[in-house]
Amino acid sequence: MITLTINGENREVGVAPDMPLLWVLRDVLGLTGTKFGCGIAQCGACTVHLAGKPVRSCQLSVNAIGARAITTVETIGSTPNGLKVQKAWLDLEVIQCGYCQSGQIMSATALLDAIPHPDDADIDAAMAGNICRCGTYVRIRQAIKRAAAQE
């Protein structure tokens, strides 16, 4: 059994040590907010926070996690920046199909955690790993700036 700290709770899972966190979250624990998009860390749909940093859960083996805390989109709204990002996303109607947006919101929240007032270059660097096929990038950029401007 492997013990993981997910969204503030300890969860025991009996899975192979090399199993990527993505499938543990989705298929074992039923936390389906984190999405499968490519399986090779190219699209960012599976982004979660590991000890506060954004990681691609499709490439993160459960045995590499240890005691570090995992946060998923299901509880990111309980963090100050997560809440700001979610609100800005809805205020500006960023979301279309929404499938990539869990990952976008996780990446954007991590960006604000690291850089409270990001400029365009910071946004490019932090968000270029997240593909949106609906093409919501223009509004993602605006929403990050809006979230950053909120106290």
127 touches 108 (CB < 8 A): yes
CB-nearer residue toward another protein: 69 or 131: 131
CB-nearer residue toward another protein: 72 or 81: 72
CB-nearer residue toward another protein: 5 or 129: 129
Dist CA 145 CA 8 (whole Å): 28
User: Least distance (Å) from another protein to the CB of residue 82?
Assistant: 9
Nearest 5°: phi and psi at 35? -105, 150
User: Least distance (Å) from another protein to the CB of residue 100?
Assistant: 5
Give the binding site for another protein (CB under 8 A): 15-16, 19-20, 23-24, 26-28, 30-40, 42-43, 45, 72-74, 76-77, 86, 89-90, 93, 95-102, 105, 123-125, 127-141
Q: Which helix (H) or strand (E) holds 112?
A: helix 101-114
User: Least distance (Å) from another protein to the CB of residue 140?
Assistant: 6
CB-nearer residue toward another protein: 51 or 93: 93
> If you ran DSSP here, which 8-state letter would residue 31 be given?
-
56, two tokens = 């691609």
Query: Residue 28: exposed, middle, or buried by beta-carbon count in 10 A (0-12, 13-18, 19+)?
Result: middle
